[in-house]
Amino acid sequence: MRKKYIILVIIFITQCFYVNAQNVKITGDFRCGGWNDDFRQLRDLQWNMESLDLSEADCDSIRQNALHSRHKLKNIILPNKLKIIGQQALFACDGIENITLPESTERIESRAFGNCFGLKTIISSATTPPQIAEDAFSGIDVSKVKLIVPKGSEKAYKTSDVWKDFFSKKAGIVKEKHNGIFNIIPIPNKIRHTEGKELITSNLGQIIAPSSLANESQHLQEILDKRLRLKTKKKSKAKITLEIDKTIGNPESYTLCIDDSGIKITGADAAGVFYGIMTLDQILIPKNKNGQINTIPPTIIEDSPRTEIRELMLDPCRIFIPFEDLKGMVAEMARYKMNAMHLHLTDDQAWRIEIKKYPRLTEKGSFRVGMDDMQMPIEGFYTQEQMKELVAFAKNYHVEIIPEIEMPGHQVAAIHCYPELTCGGVQLPIRTTCGVSDNLLCPSNEFTYDFLENVFTELSSIFTSKYVHLGGDEAGNPPLECWSGCKSCQALLKEIMSDPNTKPQPGSRNDNWRLQKHMFDRVIGFLRSKLNKTPMFWYETDFHEIQPGCIVFAWRHGLTATAIDAAIRCNAKIMLCPGEHCYLDYPAASGDMPEVNWGMPITSLQQTYKLNPAWGYSKDFEKNNLCGVAGTLWSECINSTERLYYMAFPRALALSEAGWSQQSNRNYDDFVKRLKHISTDMHRRGICTGNQLK
C-alpha cells in the first residue's frame, strides 16, 4: 500500500504549537476532491509553505484554485504524471521564479499562472506544445519570461498560439473600429445610436471642464492615456467636454453624447460626470489584447441610478485586509458605479480601528493566532490617519466609507481588552473560530455607553459619511440570553417594564429585547443629536420597534419580506443584502472556493443577478423605503487579497446592475455576453475574478 509522507516544520507561536510546513514533499496517494482535499490543506493550512515537491504524488492534475495566491511559495515541483493545470491553479504565486512542466503536460487552463509576477523561466519538457488558454498568464508580460523547450520543438512552440508570445517582442497596437455593441455594466437606461460620422479617437485630446471637475478631468486623462495613449492637448480636432446640469435628473445621473466633433459628458452632479467617464472607459475596451479603439459610432446615452446606495461590505476582522488593498477595491468597485464601502471594523476576532481613548483595543485586540482550522498569525489595524487617507481617496472615486462598530454582540475582542464592558466583567480570550458568542455588551453599565460614545465621537472625526453602522445581529445563542442572569440588567428591565407606556409584545421569547432597544435608543439618540449621523443596523426579528429614519439591512435567508414589512411599518429605510443573493463570501459553484467548510450554501452568479430590489413590493416601497443593495464579504475563509477579489467579482458586477439599472432593461443572458468582454479586460489588468465564466 502506497503512503503519503509530508515533511513538516513545527513552529512555536504564542505559547501554542501549530504545525505548518515550510518544506513539503508528498509521495503516493493524493486526495483531490471534496472540500478538504489535499490541495485545500496545502493552500489554506500550510500558511508558511515555501517549497512543495509533488513529483512523486499520485496526481495527474493541479485542480482549479489549488494553490491560489500563496505568496510565500517560492519553489514547486509538479507531479511527474501531470496532464492538466486548472483554472487559477497557481494564480498570484508571485514568489515562484522557475517552473518545469513535465513531458506529460497536455493542457493549461485560464489564468493558471495569472499574476505570477516573479516568473523568470519556464521549462517545458513536452515535445508537443500543451494546449493553453489565451489568458493562462494574464497580468504578466510573457515576452520577459524565458521559455526553454525540447530540442527540435522550437518551431512548434514559436508557431503555437500563446506560446509564440514568449518569443515575440511587444506587439504593436492594432486599431479597432468599434462594432457599435456597447458592453456596459451596469446597463444604462437608454443607448441610442444616431446619424452622422463616426468619432475618430485619435482626434481626441483636449478636455474642457470647470475647475470644480478637476478630479473628474484627472480620471478622464488617465483613461485616455491607458486606453488610447493620448495626452492632454491644448487644441485637438475633437474635444471632450465635462459639465454639470442639475436639471438632467437625480443625483448621479448623466448623459454621454458622442459624435465626430467629440464627446460631451453632462452630469447632474460631479458623481454623474464621473459615472459618465466610467461608461466611456468601458466603451474604449478593445477586443484584442493589443487592440485600441480607433472609431466610435455617434451615440447618446442617458443614465441614472435605480437605488441610492450600491455597497460592498468588507470584513477585515476575521482576516486582516492590508490598507493599500482597500484602496484598490475602492477603485475597482467604482468602475461599475458602486458607491459605498462598508467596513466591518470590530468583531469577536479582532478590533481593527485605532481609538486613542482606548489604546488597548489595538494593543491587545488586533492580534491572534488562528481562524478556525487555519492556524496562522493574524494581525493588523488601521490608524486614524490611514482611515482619513482612505476616506479622501474614496471621495475622488465618489465612494463613501461607512464604518461599523458592532453592538451588543460580536464584541469579544473589545471585551477581551476591557472586561467591564460585559456583564460581570468576565475575562475572555479573543475568539479564533467563527460562530456566535453569548457574551454581550452590558446595557445596564454606564461604562458601556461612555465607551460607545467615545468611540463614535472619535470615528466622527475620521469618517465623513452621514451613516454609521451599529451591527445588532446574532446577539448570543439563544439571542440576548446573556442578560437573563445579570441582576443589574434585570433590575433595568423591571424599571423599563414599570413605565405605563410600555406595550406588550405578543410572540416574544422574553422581554430582553427591551434591553437591546434601550441600548440602541440611547446610542441612536447620541449619534443623531451630537454627531448628526444616520444609524444603520442588521435587522433581527428581536427588533420589534425600529426608530423612524434608521436604515436596516435585510440579510437573513427567508426573512427579507419580514424585514421589509418592519421597515415600512416603522417608517424606516432598508438595504437589501439577503443571503440568497448577496453573500459573496459563499461559493459561487459546487467545489469552488472556499469549497464549503461549515455548511455555506451556493450563491451563483445568476442567483446574485436575480436580485430585484423591489422584492415584489409596490413603487411606493421603492420610493419611500428602499435605500439600496449591498454585497457582503465575510472573511472567515478569505485569506488573501486575491481571494477577496475572487469572491467579489464578477458577482459584484451582477449586484451593481441590480442596484443601478431599471428592471425592464435587465436580462441575464445579455449580462453574461457583456460580462465576457468586461472580464477579459479585468484579467488583462491583473484583476482576480471567479471562475463562473468558462
Residues belonging to the active site: 347, 410, 474
Torsions phi, psi of 548, nearest 5?
-55, 140
Torsions phi, psi of 482, nearest 5?
-55, -35
CA distance 350 to 356: 17
CA distance 516 to 595: 36
The DSSP 8-state label assigned to residue 382 in this structure reads: B
Length of the chain: 694
CA distance 396 to 412: 35
The DSSP 8-state label assigned to residue 57 in this structure reads: B
First to last CA, the chain: 38
**Three-class DSSP category at 634:** coil
**DSSP per-residue letters across 99-144:** EEE-TT--EE-TTTTTT-TT--EEEE--SSPPEE-TTTTTTS-GGG
Query: Do 638 and 614 touch, CB atoms closer than 8 A?
Result: no
Query: Do 650 and 671 touch, CB atoms closer than 8 A?
Result: no
- In this structure, are strands 98-101 and 131-132 parallel, antiparallel, or unpaired? unpaired
| Neighbouring residues of 398: CB distance < 8 A, sequence distance ≥ 6 | 252, 270, 271, 274, 275, 334, 339
Among 202, 197, 199, 267, which Cα is nearest to 236's? 202
CA distance 272 to 119: 42
The DSSP 8-state label assigned to residue 583 in this structure reads: B
Cis ω before 419 (30° cut-off from 0): no
Among 180, 174, 236, which Cα is nearest to 208's? 236
The DSSP 8-state label assigned to residue 170 in this structure reads: P
**Three-class DSSP category at 267:** strand
What is the signed CA dihedral for 495, 496, 499, 500, rounded to 10 degrees? -130
The DSSP 8-state label assigned to residue 423 in this structure reads: G
In whole angstroms, what separates CA 212 from the centre of its chain? 30
CA distance 676 to 694: 9
Torsions phi, psi of 18, nearest 5?
-130, 135
Q: Name the packing angle between helices 214-228 and 270-283 (round to 10°).
A: 0
Query: Do 113 and 139 touch, CB atoms closer than 8 A?
Result: no
CA distance 569 to 563: 10
Query: Do 536 and 563 touch, CB atoms closer than 8 A?
Result: no
